[in-house]
Each structure stands twice: as C-alpha cells, then as structure tokens.
Amino acid sequence: MKKTKINLLGNSQKSADLNPLLKRPVRTYKPSLFVFIFAFILIGFEVAFLISFYQNIDHKNAELELKRFSLKDQISVVEKDLQAQSSILPPPKPTLDPKIMDALKMEQPLLITLLSTIRDHLPQNAWIYHLAHHEDNITITGYTFTHESVSQFLSELRSSQLFETVKLILTEQTLLEEQNVKQFTIQCGLKGV
C-alpha cells in the first residue's frame, strides 16, 4: 500500500499558480502622445466655446442697455408732447348751450336748482343714468364703484336745503361692461313743493 500525502492548506506558491485571477499580470499604460493632444484640443474647444458664449451675452446686454436708453428718451419726448398738447387744447365746452340754460332757468327754475344741487353733491366716481320727477318726489338711479360713494351721496343730499326726505331704495352689485359696479336708487322728497 502506498501512502499519499494531501496538503489541505496548500502552498502559497502553488495556490497562486492554480488561481487564474492571481496569474494575470497588472497592465501598465504608457502615456500616449495622441491622448495628450486629443485632451488638449478638447479642453481648448470648451474654453473657446465658453469665451464666445460670455462675449455674446455681454454684447446682447449692451444692446439691450442702448435700447432702454433710447426708449427712455422717446418716452420723455412723448410726455413733453402730451403736456404741450394738453396746454394747447381749448377748455371743454359745457354740454348745454347757455341760451338753453337761460331759457330753462326762466321757465323751470326748480328743475335747474334740482339738477345743480344733484351735480354739486354727486361724488367723483359716481354717475347718474336716470332721473325721474313726479310731483314732489325725485328718483335718482346711478352707478358707482364703492358703497362709500353711495353713503356719501346720501348724506350730502340729506344735508341739502332742497330735500325733505332722502331714502335709499336699492343698492346692488352688478356687471357693467365687464366692470363690477354698485347700482343705486335714491328717492328724495322735495321741501315745500
């Protein structure tokens, strides 16, 4: 009988020979002249692109700045022209001919007094579209943008010497030519009529 020895631990040199992964030699790369030239050209192109990009941005900013200054000059010229034009325009003519007003004053002095009182007390941001006179009652219907204007108009009419009673009949929000407005109706009783 022959004895066979088995080394279970193995020899380090023999195990290196048996393992194919340990057998591979480590590759060393030599620096190549072509790789250096290619990398240098690539970096050169990127630097050139960045320089031209920033020069283009600076050029466009300078153009926009020049446009802005020219537009400012044009705006100032237009504003001066507007001011000159507004001083040249004649004052607006009254809507009623003075002869008609004089005739109305003689024939219906109450109507003229009534209209001038309403005109004097009407707030700036309110307007009347209907005015009705029946015996000793006046009904005023109009529009405004705020409820405060209606309140102001009511208090002004109440303080007037022409009216005995002033009542708010209706106030509601409505849409007039795509604008939210407050519609109001006021009824006034005339004094001594």
Give tens-digit pLDDT for 61-85: 999 999 999 999 999 998 888 887 7
- Strand-pair category, 126-134 with 163-176: unpaired
Stronger pLDDT, 39 or 25, i.e. the higher one: 39
* Domain topology for 98-190: Gyrase A; domain 2 (3.30.1360)
3-state secondary structure of 74: helix
Amino acid 19: pLDDT:
58
Amino acid 42: pLDDT:
94
Instruction: Give dist(CA 82, CA 32) in Å, integer.
Output: 75
Amino acid 60: pLDDT:
94
Instruction: Give dist(CA 40, CA 37) in Å, integer.
Output: 5
- Residue 46: pLDDT band with limits 50, 70, 90: very high
Amino acid 97: pLDDT:
66
Amino acid 51: pLDDT:
94
Q: What are the residue boundaries of the structural domains of the chain, listed by start?
A: 33-85, 98-190
Average pLDDT, the chain: 81
153: exposed, middle or buried (Cβ count in 10 Å: 0-12, 13-18, 19+)? buried
The answer to whether residues 168 and 154 touch, using CB atoms and an 8 Å cutoff, is: yes
Residue 90 has pLDDT above 80, yes or no: no
pLDDT tens readout for residues 91-115: 655 565 677 667 766 767 777 788 8
3-state secondary structure of 19: coil
